[in-house]
Chain A
């Protein structure tokens, strides 16, 4: 008989081999082989492949292992979404039927029917799920969550190891799905800021395992070209291969007398082929401070010129250059300190990482950098090479784009507040912001890429009213929104709530906003300058003052956008929206919350908070 993929449990490759092998076998050889195969089957009880295969064959089209895969993402800035999309394209390429969806769009009552579930979820702030993951997260953790004994799943968790609750949302999903009866396709992978390699590993594992389980039903290994075509349209540059953008403008937006500094950067995108939309971000790979790098090298007694590897491919650079450009040295993470402790004989350090001292360790990490670590726990007898291998790759800094590419082709504008403070007896400087404020000259180049944020986008209909709440640098994307609306002649009403400390010196892009108010691009603008009045006022106070009209706008279908500080502002604004819905809409608190949740699901309530 001639083996075929369709009439056998074998893959194309196996079919070909078998077709070549079987006709050449003598009868004696055939009997021997048959006996051998039977023997290993009975002696190895864990090997279930053969019975499974027989099932597959016997049940024909009603396959036990589904070819349908659901990929859900919970994403704040778009990283998880981007990875979920990549994963989906690969799955489709392998012939899977993929349902790709944000968690907020996913109908949770269909979860019971899902057989293969892949989750990509980031963690936000202190262990909280991203906005668009919250409803699904709450559903899954509620009593309404169904038993999921037929479910196969795997979780990719994104996070930042400098936070205490590193990758917490992913961990929660992973644990909960197991509790509900699900089986892991492959183990969860936690990714730090430099997530590329670990995410790729997870994807490979998941694909291999999924493919392995259902290899038998595969029609062929042929890749569909859909994913590849999309990639071809995009820029050749990316997060892993950043573009060198020339600095066209770099000015301080804060007037004299202000105690803040906010840089307005204009970068040239000429030649990058980057496309961006309002709401997207730019990632910048900054350069560490030379002073900090030199102190570190001196303290450790290393040589600046010693070659160290800067990536897994083994590319090498002089230590000084690697510390300047390739590694993060301004943040301490728990894994880093634990690894470093293994290279040290310092008793205090050993004590710090010892079990039971988690709180002390956490307190120690707060506001300290690598120089603190090496100073506080000397002596070190560690080679640069070994030490550097513990460090995280320099993460890119994400900034909301403050310009519209429609209005300014080949340019992108950013709004970067300088971070400087004192901690543990030393002045600390934000790596990227300080580079921009103090060292970045016109004509120099910055390594950057465009980071798409599909969760912060203007309404598709240009006449939809929008309410924007963006104090401080949170106003950046709204400058992009308004430039875009001005350029496209959109007719929708727009309302901006903005605030900072002093009107005289801290009103970012004041002339732009004044012009838009005058021209009607911005229908209303309400401002709160907290230090200009005896009692501090913030954007949420202005919203409450205007609650009647604000509620009218919501009822007219306005989209609400919040950008800026998460810890205080976004929280206060969210509560204020609930209050307004209660007071003006006559709703109970529950109904008001539900109203906002529904807005979120309809993408009428979008946040870009940090």
Chain B
């Protein structure tokens, strides 16, 4: 299956990151030495690049930079550590271990990411090894949670169509395992594994899919089961849409070339939607994923990282070229795409009974942040639930948490705990808030230009007031906010979206499709809160009066002429 040779298409000399990867000896680099350097809590830029492949990277508390510099202290370096769990599924036992880890070595919270992963913040360098070992002992991994590889594989987590979900989840896990890096570096560095130095092993043996330079950029795969599109399947490099008939999985529609990130001021960068190119059976899906990854490995831009995502490779060579290349490598042709329909990309809150008779409870987690707050002991409550739950814990792509596969007797007990700890399924929040998504941004993210997670709740308070005035409190509107244009909270798919430009200043976007099928478009540049509210107020008034039956806000702003519809990323800037 790996009898390929690397065809590297270059537009110029390889970027410095390519050089770091090449020299790293399959992700080893000088990481061991960097961990041992006792006079700093940091790592060099080179090592930090490699750390990403191991599921972690360095951050610092940006709020404290100046203050600490005056104190003759280096920045408050700390590490983000991310767990890769395909489809975001953890057993209750695993949850308890992660809860313990969070309390012992991190800032004390568990974060659910927008890719159904668990993220810890504030781990100090000398606790990294212990943390990663704890994760591995719980049969989870951090390998490839970041870096130029296939990232956490997303899969719709709420198994209410139980049989189909179970099968889809099984295939998702297999794809994820198949695309995992094979290097032994991870075991050597973190788990004190034996150093295997086999100079005779060639690239194909060491890293059969990725080779020694890995991918040009990150690669994202999402799998969904219609009518839910909570994984935002069109935002993925490779999206797989489960096709089923009568509760039986038939296969997947294959969509390629989506992605959210862009760079301000460079119109050659843009968010893009994945395009459906055909259908494959479940047995073929691993092969499709592997070959797609390999095509990107061979044709992706390795000179300029901002042009290196798969979406640009496809837009540059054309979708027809890709289908051709893929089918050549597969040795067979995709079937014609099957019909499907999405109704939403949000979560269903509260208890839902699956077709297997088990219960699934979706809890609303603001910004995916699980911690004990005064008057809201969320983390403790979940720990108590994990202690009795025989089912599992599922992380949603909207940063919420599903207590999954609960039996009826356990459901009663869990309901008691929910009551005891005052946990909420989100019903007490407005529909707007339940459909809001934001990235971490300040103070830890190095890319952030403006606040996101810390500020969005404040902005929502004010928007909710306007919505209440016009009677739209129960209207679900996707609203998303990020601190930069890299797209972590998939902002280009928000019916209303804000991308940070500078402290307190955002670009405002409108008009994405409610179920993630259409991009939004810029409406105003570089505006602050006052102007945001001034712009939204008449829009909501008009929407309340003039909307058609079932018309979502994102559709309305297009019909009302606020922005033009964007069906392809190539039109995003036009």
Q: Which residues of A contact B (CB under 8 A)?
A: 251-256, 264, 503-505, 507-514, 517, 525-527, 532-533
B71 within 8 A of A: yes
Nearest residue (CB) in A for B64 is A256
The answer to whether B70 and A255 have CB atoms under 8 Å apart is no
The answer to whether A251 and B38 have CB atoms under 8 Å apart is no
Chosen A-B contacts, 21 in total, with CB atoms closer than 8 Å, are: A253-B71, A253-B72, A253-B73, A255-B67, A255-B68, A264-B72, A503-B41, A503-B124, A503-B126, A505-B73, A507-B73, A509-B72, A510-B39, A510-B72, A511-B69, A511-B73, A512-B72, A514-B39, A514-B40, A514-B74, A527-B38
CB-contact partner of A504 in B39, B69, B70, B124, under 8 A: B124
CB-contact partner of B38 in A256, A508, A526, under 8 A: A526
Chain A residues whose C-beta falls within 8 Å of the C-beta of B74 in the assembled complex: 507, 510-511, 514
B76 within 8 A of A: yes
Chain B residues whose C-beta falls within 8 Å of the C-beta of A504 in the assembled complex: 41, 76, 124
Q: How far is the CA of A526 from the CA of B36 in the complex (A)?
A: 11
Bitwise interface map of B from 47 to 74 toward A, beta carbon under 8 Å scored 1, else 0: 0000000000000000010011111111
Q: How far is the CA of A416 from the CA of B29 in the complex (A)?
A: 41
Q: How far is the CA of A511 from the CA of B40 in the complex (A)?
A: 9
Chain A residues whose C-beta falls within 8 Å of the C-beta of B124 in the assembled complex: 503-504, 532
Beyond A503-B38, A517-B39, A525-B39, 20 additional contacts (C-beta under 8 Å) are A253-B71, A254-B71, A255-B71, A255-B73, A504-B41, A504-B76, A505-B73, A507-B39, A510-B39, A510-B40, A510-B74, A511-B73, A511-B74, A513-B39, A514-B39, A514-B74, A525-B38, A526-B38, A527-B38, A532-B124
Beta-carbon contacts under 8 Å, B211-231 to A: none
Chain A residues whose C-beta falls within 8 Å of the C-beta of B41 in the assembled complex: 503-504
Nearest residue (CB) in A for B61 is A256
Nearest residue (CB) in B for A249 is B70
Q: Which residues of B contact A (CB under 8 A)?
A: 38-41, 64, 67-74, 76, 124, 126
Chain B residues whose C-beta falls within 8 Å of the C-beta of A511 in the assembled complex: 69, 72-74
Nearest residue (CB) in A for B124 is A504
CB-contact partner of A532 in B64, B73, B126, under 8 A: B126
Chain A residues whose C-beta falls within 8 Å of the C-beta of B67 in the assembled complex: 255-256
Please give the distance in Å from A579's CB to the nearest CB on chain B: 22
Q: Is the interface of A mostly helix, strand, loop or mixed?
A: mixed
Nearest residue (CB) in B for A255 is B73
Chain B residues whose C-beta falls within 8 Å of the C-beta of A532 in the assembled complex: 124, 126
Chain A residues whose C-beta falls within 8 Å of the C-beta of B72 in the assembled complex: 253, 264, 508-512
Most buried by A among B38, B68, B71, B74: B71
Please give the distance in Å from B355's CB to the nearest CB on chain A: 48
The answer to whether B76 and A255 have CB atoms under 8 Å apart is yes
Chain A residues whose C-beta falls within 8 Å of the C-beta of B126 in the assembled complex: 503, 532-533
The 10 nearest A-B residue pairs measured at CB: A527-B38, A511-B72, A509-B72, A510-B73, A255-B73, A525-B39, A532-B126, A253-B71, A510-B74, A255-B68
Chain A residues whose C-beta falls within 8 Å of the C-beta of B64 in the assembled complex: 255-256
Chain B residues whose C-beta falls within 8 Å of the C-beta of A264 in the assembled complex: 72
Nearest residue (CB) in A for B127 is A532
Q: How far is the CA of A447 from the CA of B572 in the complex (A)?
A: 69
Q: How far is the CA of A526 from the CA of B74 in the complex (A)?
A: 17
Please give the distance in Å from B134's CB to the nearest CB on chain A: 13
Please give the distance in Å from B56's CB to the nearest CB on chain A: 17
The answer to whether A251 and B39 have CB atoms under 8 Å apart is no
Q: Is the interface of B mostly helix, strand, loop or mixed?
A: loop
Please give the distance in Å from A422's CB to the nearest CB on chain B: 27
The answer to whether B76 and A251 have CB atoms under 8 Å apart is no
Q: How far is the CA of A504 from the CA of B124 in the complex (A)?
A: 8
Nearest residue (CB) in A for B126 is A532
The answer to whether A527 and B70 have CB atoms under 8 Å apart is no
Most buried by A among B39, B74, B76: B39
Most buried by A among B68, B73, B124, B126: B73
Chain A residues whose C-beta falls within 8 Å of the C-beta of B68 in the assembled complex: 255
Q: How far is the CA of A517 from the CA of B126 in the complex (A)?
A: 20
Please give the distance in Å from B39's CB to the nearest CB on chain A: 5
Chain B residues whose C-beta falls within 8 Å of the C-beta of A514 in the assembled complex: 39-40, 74
Most buried by B among A251, A253, A255, A532: A255
Nearest residue (CB) in A for B40 is A514
Q: How far is the CA of A511 from the CA of B73 in the complex (A)?
A: 6
Please give the distance in Å from B72's CB to the nearest CB on chain A: 5
Chain A residues whose C-beta falls within 8 Å of the C-beta of B76 in the assembled complex: 255, 504
Q: How far is the CA of A110 from the CA of B70 in the complex (A)?
A: 56
Nearest residue (CB) in A for B122 is A504
The answer to whether B38 and A252 have CB atoms under 8 Å apart is no
Please give the distance in Å from B205's CB to the nearest CB on chain A: 38
Q: How far is the CA of A313 from the CA of B69 in the complex (A)?
A: 49
Please give the distance in Å from B107's CB to the nearest CB on chain A: 11
Chain B residues whose C-beta falls within 8 Å of the C-beta of A513 in the assembled complex: 39
Chain A residues whose C-beta falls within 8 Å of the C-beta of B71 in the assembled complex: 251-255
Please give the distance in Å from A492's CB to the nearest CB on chain B: 20
Chain B residues whose C-beta falls within 8 Å of the C-beta of A512 in the assembled complex: 72
Please give the distance in Å from B37's CB to the nearest CB on chain A: 10
Q: How far is the CA of A533 from the CA of B41 in the complex (A)?
A: 14
Please give the distance in Å from A126's CB to the nearest CB on chain B: 34
Please give the distance in Å from A517's CB to the nearest CB on chain B: 6
Chain B residues whose C-beta falls within 8 Å of the C-beta of A253 in the assembled complex: 71-73
Q: How far is the CA of A526 from the CA of B64 in the complex (A)?
A: 26
Most buried by B among A503, A514, A532: A503
Chain A residues whose C-beta falls within 8 Å of the C-beta of B38 in the assembled complex: 503, 525-527
Chain A residues whose C-beta falls within 8 Å of the C-beta of B40 in the assembled complex: 510, 514
Q: How far is the CA of A514 from the CA of B74 in the complex (A)?
A: 9
Please give the distance in Å from B462's CB to the nearest CB on chain A: 31
Q: How far is the CA of A2 from the CA of B69 in the complex (A)?
A: 82
Q: How far is the CA of A287 from the CA of B56 in the complex (A)?
A: 51
Chain A residues whose C-beta falls within 8 Å of the C-beta of B39 in the assembled complex: 507, 510, 513-514, 517, 525, 527
Nearest residue (CB) in B for A522 is B39
The answer to whether B70 and A251 have CB atoms under 8 Å apart is yes
Q: How far is the CA of A495 from the CA of B281 in the complex (A)?
A: 66
Q: How far is the CA of A511 from the CA of B124 in the complex (A)?
A: 18
Please give the distance in Å from A474's CB to the nearest CB on chain B: 17
Please give the distance in Å from B411's CB to the nearest CB on chain A: 40
Please give the distance in Å from A253's CB to the nearest CB on chain B: 5
Q: How far is the CA of A512 from the CA of B67 in the complex (A)?
A: 16
Q: How far is the CA of A532 from the CA of B76 in the complex (A)?
A: 15
Please give the distance in Å from B74's CB to the nearest CB on chain A: 6
Please give the distance in Å from B446's CB to the nearest CB on chain A: 18
Chain A residues whose C-beta falls within 8 Å of the C-beta of B73 in the assembled complex: 253, 255, 505, 507, 510-511
Chain B residues whose C-beta falls within 8 Å of the C-beta of A251 in the assembled complex: 70-71
Chain B residues whose C-beta falls within 8 Å of the C-beta of A510 in the assembled complex: 39-40, 72-74
Q: How far is the CA of A132 from the CA of B39 in the complex (A)?
A: 34
Please give the distance in Å from B461's CB to the nearest CB on chain A: 29
Nearest residue (CB) in B for A254 is B71
Nearest residue (CB) in A for B68 is A255
Please give the distance in Å from A498's CB to the nearest CB on chain B: 9
Q: How far is the CA of A252 from the CA of B38 in the complex (A)?
A: 22
Q: How far is the CA of A507 from the CA of B42 in the complex (A)?
A: 14
Q: How far is the CA of A513 from the CA of B39 in the complex (A)?
A: 8
Q: How far is the CA of A509 from the CA of B39 in the complex (A)?
A: 11
Q: How far is the CA of A508 from the CA of B41 in the complex (A)?
A: 14
Q: How far is the CA of A507 from the CA of B38 in the complex (A)?
A: 11
Chain B residues whose C-beta falls within 8 Å of the C-beta of A507 in the assembled complex: 39, 73-74
Most buried by B among A508, A509, A513, A532: A532
